[in-house]
Structure 1
Amino acid sequence: MNVIGKVTVLPQLPAGISRLSELAYNLYWSWTPRAQALYADLDAAIWERFQQNPVRTLLEVPHARLQEVAADPAYLARYAQVMADFDAYMGQQDTWAARNAPDMKPVAYFSMEYAFHESLPIYSGGLGVLAGDHCKSASDLGIPFTAVGMLFHQGYFTQLFDRDGWQNEIYEDLDLTTLPLRPALTPNGQEARVSVKIGARTVHVRVWTLQVGRIRVLLLDTNVPENSEDDRKLTARLYGGNQELRVQQYILLGVAGIRALRLLNVPADVYHMNEGHAALMGLERIREYVAAGLDFRTALETAASSTLFTTHTPVAAGNDAFTFDLMDRYIGEWPAQLAASRDELYALARHDQNWDGQLVPAFSMTVFALNLSRAANGVSELHGEVSREMWKFLYEGAEAEEVPIGHVTNGAHNLTFTSQAMRDLLSTVLPADWTGRLEDEAMWQAVEKLTDEQLSTVQREMKRDMIGFVRRRMREQMLRNGASAADVAATDTLLSGDALTIGFARRFATYKRATLLFRDRARLSRIVNDPARPVQFVFAGKAHPADNPGKAFIQEIYRVSQEPEFRGKIVILENYDMNVARQLVQGVDIWLNNPRRPLEASGTSGMKASFNGSPNFSVLDGWWREGFDGTNGWPIGEEREYADLNVQDDADAYSLYEHLEEDIVPRYYGTQGGEGSWAHTVRRAIETASPRFSMQRQVIDYVQKYYRPLAARGTELSANGSARAREIGAWKTWVRQQWPHTSITAQAALPASTQPGQTVPVTAQVGPAGINLDELRVEAVLSRAGHLTRVPLLSQGDGTFRADVPLQESGLYSVGVRMLPVIPGLSNDLEAGLIRWANA
């Protein structure tokens, strides 16, 4: 028919269950299975058809059914308990933050994508899941926290496989009236609208509110009548466009995001950029300070003092960089608004790129984010090391280990990914308040009290549910692709509840090596088809729409799964999303991850599997390098680097097969008790991963290492009209002007050899070029076994600096002398970015 318009008829809920609507608009339900069950039990088919969305379910369920459950005493009892738990959660005063950080200042968190639940598909993968989990734990901990993101009307994409296993992408517009979103309202009750200039155009932005427990998320939306058709599409798709679209989306996230906070009077003392997509928030924050009367340098120091940047990308290609010409088109008016020159502004982002064989100046979002923040971190210990090496060129003369990029190892939101059955089992041995103490490692030792039988019973139940899910999904796929009746019927026997089941699900970037398992198919066939000890595999994952090599990996797995020796024992599911992820991490026996080390910044899927008692089997990269302890899972390969990638793949594949055949399969099917049993490994996986890699631990780390110190520093630098920021900005300008004229020479009486504990006299002569000697740190730098020791030389008052430098340990030392400018109040010794090494 010809549609002239749409209208949403809101459900009239019976009085006894009237608060189901209130609960549907708070994503508390997304990590509360018993709350989800209230909606699923209204109509299971509707619940599944609409991606387990409570708002849509209430709209679709007939009124007669609502009246029926409102008269059901058993349903009403469950409803009452869920609502009592919800009220207790929302009204809780004794939160972690109230006890441990009562002076906590509010945080504004910016991310391009968020994964809260599959019914709101505004995420592509791990970055979004991490951001969504961060919000959930900020709520759990009682932190004053507001998140800002984008409302993508077509989300990422729905992934469908054709009959040959090739990925196809389907985009469908979300119906916002059926999602747990509400228009954000200004203090005077008006729907929130902000605008931002992108190039010569004014783009209008509607702001939506998403309630996530006790915190809220603001989502930006350009699909409004005031905009042109092209501008309405700026928030159509996540990661779906070219370079020009990405720049425009980044302006929206950063600039319109800050303006939304201001319009809604949302307080923020700390600003957290989750990846470089959010870097352009710095433009708007500096503009605000300049409009208030500050000069550019003072405004920059004031804004940066309270800003944290988290990088997630360990490869250069994953860090966005754009030509200066492209940036001119879209932010060409900004230098004037910031009282800065184009050269001054673009210098903060410059990272020359080799494009088409030519070195071209480029505007790097990561470099801009690093320069516009005073704290930065990677997302695992190893990723911190990789990041310091990647970005040390910004601190010419510094060694990688001293580059001011720290790390907070990622976590996952335990309650989102731990099954209700496992939660119930854990509740039998953990204290009543365990869900509020997830980071407490000592508490988790109680998992040792769980018997082998208890663990086996629950895990068999979870595996049975997962296999049922896989069979239903594969049947739907077969029917859609016109498969034969025999092939459709065969889905009823996919996978065995008695076989060792290994899961692999993630974004299909090629460095994640999804096909490594198939490097020796004959050996794999022997492992899979062992009649006494069979092994089976479940795969899932999306490739970026433009990533044909990633799509080819998917197709290869699909084709292998159709070969006679692997049919029914290797399965790849289409449309990987949070629902598929939950099913797999809760149902498999082992979680497999084999990225090419050291390119996995962190990874979190293995954590989620371990929460459910599925040990991790992974390359020692990302979080697993920290998490593996020899008892809670298995490693793949060695902790080393390879010059030849083919050699690395061969070595890691060999290790994978060896561990499967020699360690994992015998343990799973064995009868040995105690520390040699499968149950022992399961217990160790739960009790080690659950606290150390909980999102609660991660957010607590951010509070203690970054949020509170940044709030204090931001307050100090912005006080009295940004007086301290002005001093620091002026000092940096002066020192950078003088630095080319400084000099330093040094002498050290170094013996050919000596004994541990002896000292070596070191003297340096400095030409300060007018810089106050008190503002120069002169130091000896000892390098031994790849680690640095810095020993300050003391000023003798005439440009001479001296110290007796101790050599504490035996070994070969390299000794150098350098100077760098420092004053009190800097975020780190390298903040000025200037180092001069002495000539001998």
Structure 2
Amino acid sequence: MQAGRSELERAATALATRIPEPLGVLARLAYNYRWAWDPDGPAVFRDVDADRWERVAENPVRLLQEAATDRLAAAAANPELLARAAALEERVSADLARPRRDEITTAERPIAYFSAEYGFHGSFPIYSGGLGALAGDILKEASDRAWPLVAVGLLYREGYFRQRIDGGGWQHEYWVDTDPDRLPTALVTGDDGEPITITVPIGDTEVTAQIWRVDIGGIPLYLLDADRPENTQTARWITSRLYIGDEDTRLAQYMLLGVGGVRALEAMGIEPGLVHLNEGHAAFVSLELARRHYSGTGSLSAALEIGRKQTIFTTHTPVPAGNDTYPAQQVADTLAHIAGTLGVEAEEIIALGRTNPEEGAEPFGVTQFALRTSRAANGVSRRHGEVAREMWQAMWPEKAVDDVPITYVTNGVHIPTWLGQPMWELLNKHLGEDWLDRATDPATWAPVDDIPAKELWDVRKTQRADMITYVQHRAVADRLSRDEPRAYAEAAANMDPDVLTIGFARRLATYKRLNLLLQDVERAMKLVAGDRPIQVLIAGKAHPRDEGGKRLVQALFESKNAPGFADRVAYLNDYDLRMAAWLVRGCDVWINLPRPPLEASGTSGMKNVVNGGLQLSVLDGWWAEGYDGHNGWSLSGDVDHDHGAQDARHAHELLRLLEEEVAPEFYRSSGDGIPRDWVARVRRSLRTLGPEFGAGRMLEDYEKKVYKTGL
């Protein structure tokens, strides 16, 4: 996996020549994101120039490019900062020097992980939400575990949309150009010094793509980019935006990711031993694997079988309508050339993407195609596995639902990425400094029960206060930008660091039911502004074409003038990974209200849990297996096709829990000001959920339940 490594080193060297010589260590560190989950990593860069660090979205390359000369000079003359930077480099280098594990595959034949989006850091905007954050966490955990893994994706020149909310609560989208030369990435070049390129036939066009490398610890991420002079402007647009609305361009993205991704690995001399598809976006991987082994004779199924033996597929979508489908003719036009190289008509390939292959009127589904061309498949929680088996049972009509070959691996989160520094220090103190190496063992978390209540409560107060400071600044700025009256805008500065604070932040699809928070506005406002007040922080983006999701936010804004709303409820614009980190670290309660059984897993609540937050969620996704009756609160996960009745019931139960259980427990304390029952519930949450919902347990499950099966 050497391809692109020397190019990153040259980029770091070039950056070092532009800054004072003692800061060369920071230039070297900047080109591998391993610093991002070191306890002192972000602070080392921040302390060069805190204001610029914030303005460049914590991008270390831009920080060193843009920081003022006097700030760089001061940093270069700061022995304490230089010592910390040297220690950071020593830790990172030691981590990266560890040999790769070879129990699953070898470094010579690594796991190849394909995903349409990666959310590994807020400074590299090629993600939209939970799917990307999960992919980023998998790469980091794979690095921590020294897995031989490479990742493949697309470099979107405009990333995902940015969000602006107007005074009426309507979402507006805009896009910002991403300049790869100002990111910790480098073009992969050949022996001649020119970029390595591959071509993919998409319809009647040969699309050329170059390859960028980004290092996520010990994991190289290779990103294909169609912004090449050989391409037409239309072809260049293929890698313009993540989840682009135009269906032809979206299908072209999937071809470039799947077929082009395999070709890119081959061009770089990387032969994967296992291929893992994160959702169906890269399903066309199987066509290229088949083409490489096709001899010119024999059947398509025989050629596909060779690739099938090394392909794993993870599905994330629990409703048929959420899985991408395309008209047969559109797919036929896109696949015409590659079908010819396999000696078949496109229709033979398209049939593999139908639930009922012989049904000519049925469109082509990327999920069905991925299920048929992978040796193993999994959902992302226990309940999602059950839902997926039922949903796709028609593809295996001879099997009972329980025997449909889709297992599950419940998602988990990369704990060091999401853990607040005060909580990290507290757990180091009581669990031992090597506790992260043992985080999947329940015994590791047992000492949580012995953490003194005052220490745990003080950490929660600190992280809540830090978050509220961030929210005060951000919410006032958001309101002013919407042209709100000054009094209303400034009211956000009244948010109180000692008030119970709940968070609702996620992709704003209608099934997430943001509307439940204010179904009974009068009752909700009494709760928010009552004797035991509650602060509510809300954030999230609706897809540009999701009118229903946008109306959820608009409906929320209809209540903004209700008494108590202005200084107790804040909607934060432009939700991203950086904002998510503030919220999951600081919120006391994390609320999730999906309509069951539509939550495949969810991960934001897991991030809140490791920070001592508590869950109040529908028993769906991961919470259906995490809740034990005493480590948070729950709403029924029963399926009810009368959505109006279910919404009314859940809205009532949500407010009842907040009124009668959550707020009283938070504010009920002895003379020392510590809510003992609340702290006891936090302890139980950490002890029961910590070992089960980290990315370490997830990767162990992939290894045991998926990667090593069917070999």
**TM tier, smaller:** over 0.9
Specify which of 54, 59, 62 is matched with residue 53 of structure 1: 59
**Unaligned stretches of 5+ in structure 2?**
1-13
Give the distance between the partners of 1:552 and 1:322, measured in 2 at CA: 27
Give the distance between the partners of 1:327 and 1:83, measured in 2 at CA: 49
1:496 is aligned to 2:496: yes
Give the distance between the partners of 2:561 and 2:73, measured in 1 at CA: 48
Partner of 2:30: 24
Partner of 1:828: none
Partner of 2:682: 682
1:617–1:634: 8 Å Cα contact kept in structure 2?
Answer: yes
Counterpart of 2:431 in 1: which secondary structure? coil
Q: What are the Cα deviations for residues 418-460 of structure 1, in whole angstroms up to 9, with x where unaligned? A: 1111101110011222222221221011112211111111111
1:72 is aligned to 2:78: yes
Counterpart of 1:129 in 2: which secondary structure? helix
1:517 is aligned to 2:521: no
CA apart distance, 1:461? 1.1
Q: What are the Cα deviations for residues 783-831 of structure 1, in whole angstroms up to 9, with x where unaligned? A: xxxxxxxxxxxxxxxxxxxxxxxxxxxxxxxxxxxxxxxxxxxxxxxxx
Identity over the aligned pairs, expressed in percent?
Answer: 41
Query: Which letter does structure 2 place at the counterpart of 1:76?
Result: L
Shifted more, 479-488 versus 210-219: the winner is 479-488
Counterpart mapping for 1:349-498 below 5 A = 349-351=353-355, 360-493=361-494, 495-498=495-498
1:146–1:216: 8 Å Cα contact kept in structure 2?
Answer: yes
2:525–2:563: 8 Å Cα contact kept in structure 1?
Answer: no
1:694 is aligned to 2:705: no
CA apart distance, 1:33? 4.7
2:488–2:566: 8 Å Cα contact kept in structure 1?
Answer: no
1:421–1:458: 8 Å Cα contact kept in structure 2?
Answer: yes
Q: CA, structure 1 residues 607+177, in 2 after alignment: closer, same or farther (shift >3 Å)?
A: same
Shifted more, 519-528 versus 559-568: the winner is 559-568
Counterpart of 2:222 in 1: which secondary structure? strand
Query: Which letter does structure 2 place at the counterpart of 1:388?
Result: R
1:47–1:57: 8 Å Cα contact kept in structure 2?
Answer: yes
2:428–2:434: 8 Å Cα contact kept in structure 1?
Answer: no
CA apart distance, 1:102? 8.3
Query: Which letter does structure 2 place at the counterpart of 1:439?
Result: T
Q: CA, structure 1 residues 9+28, in 2 after alignment: closer, same or farther (shift >3 Å)?
A: closer
Partner of 1:240: 244
Give the distance between the partners of 1:441 and 1:675, measured in 2 at CA: 26
Give the distance between the partners of 2:676 and 2:201, measured in 1 at CA: 64
Specify which of 318, 326, 340 is matched with residue 314 of structure 1: 318
Q: What are the Cα deviations for residues 15-39 of structure 1, in whole angstroms up to 9, with x where unaligned? A: 3331211111111122235111111
Query: Which letter does structure 2 place at the counterpart of 1:630?
Result: G
2:492–2:566: 8 Å Cα contact kept in structure 1?
Answer: no
2:35–2:88: 8 Å Cα contact kept in structure 1?
Answer: no
CA apart distance, 1:128? 0.6
Partner of 2:44: 38
Give the distance between the partners of 1:173 and 1:200, measured in 2 at CA: 28
**Unaligned stretches of 5+ in structure 1?**
1-7, 714-840
Query: Which letter does structure 1 place at the counterpart of 2:46?
Result: A
1:11–1:59: 8 Å Cα contact kept in structure 2?
Answer: no
Partner of 1:605: 604
1:215 is aligned to 2:216: no
Partner of 1:299: 303
Partner of 2:656: 658
Q: CA, structure 1 residues 472+675, in 2 after alignment: closer, same or farther (shift >3 Å)?
A: closer
Q: CA, structure 1 residues 345+190, in 2 after alignment: closer, same or farther (shift >3 Å)?
A: same
Shifted more, 212-221 versus 327-336: the winner is 327-336
Give the distance between the partners of 2:77 and 2:16, measured in 1 at CA: 21
1:308–1:706: 8 Å Cα contact kept in structure 2?
Answer: yes
1:632 is aligned to 2:631: yes
1:199–1:330: 8 Å Cα contact kept in structure 2?
Answer: yes
How well do the aligned residues superpose, as a CA RMSD in angstroms? 2.1
Give the distance between the partners of 1:675 and 1:159, measured in 2 at CA: 38
Give the aligned length: 694
Partner of 1:86: 92
Query: Which letter does structure 2 place at the counterpart of 1:433?
Result: D
Partner of 1:538: 537
Query: Which letter does structure 1 place at the counterpart of 2:277?
Result: M
Specify which of 264, 277, 280 is matched with residue 276 of structure 1: 280
Give the distance between the partners of 1:209 and 1:57, measured in 2 at CA: 20
2:332–2:347: 8 Å Cα contact kept in structure 1?
Answer: no
Partner of 1:112: 116
1:561–1:572: 8 Å Cα contact kept in structure 2?
Answer: no
CA apart distance, 1:293? 6.6
Give the distance between the partners of 1:397 and 1:294, measured in 2 at CA: 27
2:332–2:350: 8 Å Cα contact kept in structure 1?
Answer: no
Higher strand share: 1
Counterpart of 2:503 in 1: which secondary structure? strand
Q: CA, structure 1 residues 607+340, in 2 after alignment: closer, same or farther (shift >3 Å)?
A: same
Give the distance between the partners of 1:382 and 1:393, measured in 2 at CA: 19
Query: Which letter does structure 1 place at the counterpart of 2:647?
Result: D
Q: What are the Cα deviations for residues 562-608 of structure 1, in whole angstroms up to 9, with x where unaligned? A: 42332211111000000110000001110000100110000001000
Give the distance between the partners of 2:373 and 2:360, measured in 1 at CA: 24
Query: Which letter does structure 2 place at the counterpart of 1:147?
Result: A
Query: Which letter does structure 2 place at the counterpart of 1:231?
Result: A
Q: Which has the higher contact order (CA 8 A, sep 6+)?
A: 2
Partner of 1:340: 344
Give the distance between the partners of 1:659 and 1:345, measured in 2 at CA: 52
Shifted more, 282-291 versus 181-190: the winner is 181-190
Counterpart mapping for 1:147-158 below 5 A = 147-158=151-162
1:502–1:592: 8 Å Cα contact kept in structure 2?
Answer: yes
CA apart distance, 1:676? 6.3
Counterpart of 1:608 in 2: which secondary structure? helix
1:321–1:365: 8 Å Cα contact kept in structure 2?
Answer: yes
Give the distance between the partners of 2:502 and 2:479, measured in 1 at CA: 23
Look at both structures and tell me which one has the larger radius of gyration over its CA atoms: 1
Counterpart of 2:669 in 1: which secondary structure? coil
Query: Which letter does structure 2 place at the counterpart of 1:642?
Result: D
Query: Which letter does structure 2 place at the counterpart of 1:289?
Result: H
Give the distance between the partners of 1:43 and 1:526, measured in 2 at CA: 44
Give the distance between the partners of 1:74 and 1:488, measured in 2 at CA: 40
Partner of 1:756: none
